[in-house]
């Protein structure tokens, strides 16, 4: 029976089971997930947090990670500045990046979410406001959300992937994982 694991990846954890960098002491998935023969279905940067799906099923891994399937991925994004509707509309229409125009995002401003504290904390500056966005995309370019928010004048300060398709980290603390039913492989 194929396995699917939902993992709430903490900040600073490498999205692989080993770190091949000489002399590196970075945390990896092996520090948190003690399940054999599962692999990440997609990636999260070292400085991003939240939902990472791991599976031992190659077809499911492709279905989740391959942009052709357009599986929605929802992020909670703390950005620098006071994002107004004009900036949000740019994200909704698609943003021109160096590697082309992004697909339109679903985005809204939200109240500060009830998240765990980040270690280290995001740098706070009294003179520079920030706000939170809930942003959903259906593609997965390298560092895409960060590049999109920067392109509209609001660099990302904190990025938490909250949902992929029907799977979410709601009630799953950072560094913890749980098995999930595979029947939710819809997009």
Instruction: Give catalytic residue positions.
Output: 45
Tokens (6 digits) for 180: 């999930």
Show the beta-strand stretches assigned E in 58-181: 73-80, 96-97, 100-101, 106-110, 130-137, 156-164, 167-168, 177-179
Burial of 28 from C-beta contacts in 10 A (0-12 / 13-18 / 19+): middle
Q: Is the peptide bond before 120 cis (omega within 30 degrees of 0)?
A: yes
The values of phi and psi at residue 39, to 5°, are: -135, 150
Say how far apart CA 162 and CA 174 lie, in whole Å. 12
Angle at 102 between CA 140 and CA 156, to 5 degrees: 70
Say how far apart CA 56 and CA 2 lie, in whole Å. 6
Say how far apart CA 132 and CA 178 lie, in whole Å. 27
């Amino acid at each position: 029976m194929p396995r699917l694991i939902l993992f709430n990846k903490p900040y600073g954890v490498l999205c692989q089971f080993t770190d091949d960098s000489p002399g590196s002491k970075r945390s990896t998935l092996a520090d948190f997930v003690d399940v054999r023969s599962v692999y990440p279905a997609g990636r999260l940067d070292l400085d991003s947090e939240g939902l990472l799906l791991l599976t031992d099923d190659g077809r499911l891994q492709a279905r989740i990670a391959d942009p052709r399937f357009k599986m929605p991925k929802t992020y909670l994004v703390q950005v620098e500045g006071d994002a107004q509707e004009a900036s949000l509309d740019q994200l909704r229409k698609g943003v021109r990046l160096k590697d082309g125009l992004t697909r339109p995002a679903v985005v809204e401003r939200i109240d500060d979410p009830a998240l765990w504290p980040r270690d280290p904390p995001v740098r706070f500056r009294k003179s520079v406001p920030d706000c939170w966005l809930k942003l959903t995309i259906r593609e997965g370019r390298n560092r895409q959300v960060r590049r999109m928010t920067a392109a509209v004048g609001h660099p990302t300060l904190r990025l938490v992937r909250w949902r992929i398709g029907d799977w979410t980290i709601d009630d799953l603390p950072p560094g913890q994982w749980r098995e999930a039913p595979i029947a939710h492989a819809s997009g």
